[in-house]
Structure 1
């Protein structure tokens, strides 16, 4: 039986490995750290897993954290733009979930080993990759560490960013009363960026979290450039001030006497440039390697699609590998090209949606959000579409598509809200102003 080597034990590598194992394919996973070290490490992110990824997890039998105290069924979207501020809250038909990756990835690595996979803790650079390619029929790179992303060239026409679009700060918090039932809030702050509040399943149970997506020139950027550990109390006071000014729906649940970062390892700062790379690369020895997940496509977290795209990428590549094994097709350049195209089809909507959110919204998109603030059924439709890139891209593609989306999701005339509350597009001058300042 052919064997597959996977370098990197993040979501893409783990989902790919578990999927192949479920079909009886021998897999070796090469990880930078063992599970125990991961559990004790710094918060890596605050990612959401939406319904398509959760379906993958149920298929892989790794949905270990779902349940009434974890599943997220509500999403609020608030446009905090001074006198033009408005907000909406929608209910999700299919729940999302946030799990601390210091729980998630070690547990899935242990599942992988328990099901017959081989896990080796081994840093892999380009030279080691050549050696591994001789041990396996195919090697897949699921990490950017040790310079491995340089093997996969950037595709300029799919990569509009040449520098970070946002500066990032994320943390688990204390002193914030969590909404019930479980939900999240997205605060869109024109001219400054975005603030996302959620609830994460951690080793402490369910706790509040924050993700700051700061425009480099805005007043949120200091949360990504001023180090938390240099003066934690001063940083927490600064964070609380920014929540008060730019995320009032979250700030109203803050207890100032208790507010702060949950623990010394429960925060992270950084920035990176979104990029789409070619999904395969030749090695000097004539073999080929594939890229998967973030190694193939790196998205900004603003759309909450990073882990979901990684899982979609992994499942698409697994399907290509299983097809090739079933037909005894070699893992040659032709295979790599076809598999790369299949992965891109799977993740392109997430990339397009993410890149759209990094730009000022056109007036017709503002109109859709205004409609959601005035009609609960439209708010529900927006919240559900927001989680599935294909759906939200279609809803916001053109002014005509946006108007049709709102009309389709408004209640029948006899159930409509009173005239004073009935949906009307935001006046053109106001909609344009909200869009321009973003």
Structure 2
């Protein structure tokens, strides 16, 4: 029986540990906190909204303990604003299968206990580099799934795949109760996005809290220095929530009545920080020359804007386990580590990273095309259905970013996709999405420069 060590008791590390125990490996998981400390003394490390492709792995492993209790997010509702208070357009898309967001503290607590019950070993200690040397010497493979903590520095940033050297958003997250589960006029339970050009984003995620149960996880993604960036220096959850209520009242008044009753779900249920998006190389070398490989956020750090961190971690864990099993008794050398990560990156990691970067960029041309094209309809049922297909396709890309990301990266492919879905030439579809205003007015409301006089009259396709 081959021995595998996993350092880290977050979602990706625990899933990999469970899958390897199920497959017959001798697995030891190292955690810097006990299950009880996870549950009662920790802050949530993220929202961890997972879509169906990621949830499937948890179900296969018999770890989906909250299926009947957690709220099921049915889609996404997006409001795009060229300026605060100016709701230019909305998009409501339905997922093929629901998403769920489970409090990671509850999850790590239960999954750690379950791992020991199923035959895995759990060691409680904070692993240092010298200790990691000892662990690597004792095991056939050592996996570092320690998030973005100090051990992350073992893995070199891949500059070619990491276009951002700095955080693109200042991020605040809070777990709240009070607001009802749903929104007036929205016929599904969605994650609700409010997007502000050049300012940032605010979104509300249906959430299963460790104590409160069905509730909300609310995030503000502020472009540094802008009107949303008011949380810097806040040192308590109560202060964070008070600032959030003021921001919603001022900049998102349509959600004010919904949000004004919000209260923190627990005293630890908030975060205030920033994430530098990065892809790291899959081989870490210890001072002795021994090698270890990363998993989850240690391998690929994603800004929360696309809700992809936990999804990416689940997919990466599945890929890692599949490659371990396929490798048999051969040594887990640097070549194997590289091939394993490249397999994940080709299928999931690359499209996910590029999709997240598109969202961080605001509304590049491909995304703007989809937003406007899905918005216009002449009221006929068949046309409404076709427009809805565009919104649904965009929303389902969150489940599998490989589906639509290559399309929205290429304006030509987006235009062909719009015609395929709507049955209209793309200029007609986008003009319909202007909802009765002229191209010049749409450009002005988006904060874009006027169309060049020499441009063709249908240049609505160049909105972004």
Scaled by the length of structure 1, the TM-score of the pair is 0.90
Q: Is the 8 A contact 1:31 1:120 kept in 2?
A: yes
Q: Residue 349 of structure 1 is aligned with which of 335, 351, 355?
A: 351
Cα 1:81–1:27 shift into 2, 3 Å? same
1:271-315: per-residue Cα shift (whole Å, max 9, x none)?
121111111123343432111111111111111000111111111
1:363-387: per-residue Cα shift (whole Å, max 9, x none)?
3421211222333332222222233
User: How far off its partner does 1:334 sit?
Assistant: 2.2
Name stretches of at least 5 consecutive residues in structure 2 with no aligned partner. 377-386, 450-463
User: How far off its partner does 1:172 sit?
Assistant: 1.3
User: How far off its partner does 1:145 sit?
Assistant: 6.5
* Aligned position for 1:194: 201
1:333-373: per-residue Cα shift (whole Å, max 9, x none)?
22222223223323121111111211132234212112223
* Aligned position for 2:252: 247
CA distance in structure 2 between the partners assigned to 1:268 and 1:37 by the alignment: 17
* Aligned position for 1:159: 162
CA distance in structure 1 between the partners assigned to 2:12 and 2:447 by the alignment: 35
Cα 1:145–1:420 shift into 2, 3 Å? closer
Cα 1:175–1:129 shift into 2, 3 Å? same
CA distance in structure 2 between the partners assigned to 1:421 and 1:176 by the alignment: 32
User: How far off its partner does 1:138 sit?
Assistant: 0.8
CA distance in structure 2 between the partners assigned to 1:187 and 1:46 by the alignment: 17
* Aligned position for 1:324: 327
Query: Per the alignment, in what secondary structure is the counterpart of residue 119 of structure 1?
Result: strand
Confirm or deny that 1:210 pairs with 2:209: no
* Aligned position for 1:365: 367
* Aligned position for 1:13: 13
* Aligned position for 1:26: 26
1:3-402 alignment runs, 5 A limit: 3-40=3-40, 41-67=42-68, 70-82=71-83, 83=86, 85-144=88-147, 147-179=150-182, 181-202=188-209, 203-229=211-237, 232=238, 235-254=240-259, 256=260, 258-325=261-328, 328-345=329-346, 346-374=348-376, 375-402=387-414
CA distance in structure 2 between the partners assigned to 1:429 and 1:298 by the alignment: 39
Q: Residue 434 of structure 1 is aligned with which of 427, 435, 446?
A: 446
Cα 1:294–1:161 shift into 2, 3 Å? same
Cα 1:435–1:94 shift into 2, 3 Å? farther
Cα 1:300–1:16 shift into 2, 3 Å? same
Q: Is the 8 A contact 1:43 1:171 kept in 2?
A: no
CA distance in structure 2 between the partners assigned to 1:173 and 1:373 by the alignment: 32
CA distance in structure 1 between the partners assigned to 2:414 and 2:443 by the alignment: 14
Name stretches of at least 5 consecutive residues in structure 1 with no aligned partner. none
User: How far off its partner does 1:411 sit?
Assistant: 7.0
User: How far off its partner does 1:219 sit?
Assistant: 1.1
Which one is further off, 291-300 or 386-395? 386-395
Q: Is the 8 A contact 2:136 2:142 kept in 1?
A: yes
CA distance in structure 1 between the partners assigned to 2:95 and 2:298 by the alignment: 30
Q: How many residues align?
A: 428
Cα 1:428–1:95 shift into 2, 3 Å? farther
CA RMSD of aligned residues (A): 2.7
CA distance in structure 2 between the partners assigned to 1:126 and 1:425 by the alignment: 61
Scaled by the length of structure 2, the TM-score of the pair is 0.85
Q: Is the 8 A contact 1:4 1:137 kept in 2?
A: yes
Query: Per the alignment, in what secondary structure is the counterpart of residue 196 of structure 1?
Result: strand
